[in-house]
Structure 1
């Protein structure tokens, strides 16, 4: 067998092995680092409805809402929640319609992934839904947390690896002034606690 043919066969074997090997699981450290990279970049909060490209659609990085922090972080890990949530909603519409806090008539790939109840439903269905706790040690870096704000407004953020002196983890989120990393986990009632580490 010629060296050239042997080299070609080795390349094919390696390519097949890589194709069938399990994908590396995205780590919590990668997730909160991807969220943290938005601090100082996304500077404002803008909830207006916009038509987005699909897949990979986004509003300009300098603005966004709380859900955009999550979507952008997971995209850096190779997971497009715009597509994943939209497809899941089409397959399980009744589940999302029941959990929604508005009158949804059909899935909308421009906005589905930018609504907190939809992300919470997706994470509960495809990840791990964890107990809500008043103990900061229950929240690990990379976990997803949802809240209910005054006026029945929903909110979402990612748990940081940084903690206060009392042990409460900081949160990476956008609550109105751009993406920030701050101590606010227990400022509002926690409504959900999720862990999703896709491959």
Structure 2
């Protein structure tokens, strides 16, 4: 009997560990208002659609993940994925593109001006803007660099860009109970949710940016 109870407890623990590790368990989400944080609104509307860029980027990202893209790294002759697949950088690329920032064109222009900094021998416009290491350099050159202290919660806003060593995503306007924002991202094929509470669990954060 004791062995059976032990197996049951062990099974429950393993199940909980698995569900927690893969962010399957639901997490309560909080808003800026819950922490008396003023939501940032950009003064720029690059695509002239009547919505400020910060809000536009966040809305576009939510529209993109609503299509439930499947994780797969592929090369596209037109640069942007035109099927059901995508990778982490596509979350950012589509979020910015529909706000008036064409990363394929912008990154290509910046690489041609600063090729040594990108450490690229052969420039390929169709793929360069989808590589995290290139985006890190691009945002260093062209975006506002912000704090990487995740506990400085007022300076993390929905629509910001977050870069990890080999990964990238968009900051959500939803937060955990400490006020630390969720991240909207697409990291692997086994990801259950695109919006996850991951910042405290990662040790590879290398950049935090704002385009507008």
Task: Tell me which interval the TM-score lies in, with the shorter structure as reference length.
Answer: 0.7 to 0.9
* Aligned position for 2:164: 147
Answer yes or no: is the 8 Å Cα contact 2:128–2:134 preserved in 1: yes
Of the three residues 122, 136, 150, the one matched with 1:120 is 136
Of the three residues 56, 63, 78, the one matched with 2:85 is 63
Structure 2, unaligned runs of 5 or more: 1-42, 47-51
Of the three residues 90, 95, 102, the one matched with 1:80 is 102
**What is the alpha-carbon distance in structure 2 between the residues aligned to residue 141 and residue 84 of structure 1?**
22
Q: 1:23 to 1:140 in 2, by over 3 A?
A: closer
**What is the alpha-carbon distance in structure 2 between the residues aligned to residue 31 and residue 23 of structure 1?**
12
> Which digits, 9 at most, give the CA deviation of each residue in 1:91-118, with x for residues without a partner?
1101111xxxxxx312111110000111
Alignment of 1:47-62 (within 5 A): 47-48=73-74, 50-53=75-78, 57-62=79-84
Q: 1:163 to 1:86 in 2, by over 3 A?
A: same
Shift of 1:67: 0.3
Q: Aligned with 1:36: secondary structure? A: helix
User: TM-score with structure 2 length normalisation?
Assistant: 0.70
Shift of 1:33: 1.1
Shift of 1:129: 1.5
For the aligned residue pairs, the C-alpha RMSD in angstroms reads 2.0
Shift of 1:61: 4.4
Q: Work out the number of aligned pairs and report it.
A: 161
* Aligned position for 1:13: none
**What is the alpha-carbon distance in structure 1 between the residues aligned to residue 175 and residue 84 of structure 2?**
26
Kindly indicate whether structure 1 or structure 2 has the higher relative contact order, using CA contacts under 8 Å at least 6 residues apart: 1
* Aligned position for 1:182: 196
**What is the alpha-carbon distance in structure 1 between the residues aligned to residue 121 and residue 66 of structure 2?**
37
Structure 1, unaligned runs of 5 or more: 1-21, 98-103, 149-153
Of the three residues 88, 92, 95, the one matched with 2:117 is 95
Tell which deviates more after alignment, 156-165 or 131-140: 131-140
Aligned structure 1 segments of 4 or more residues deviating by more than 2 angstroms? 22-27
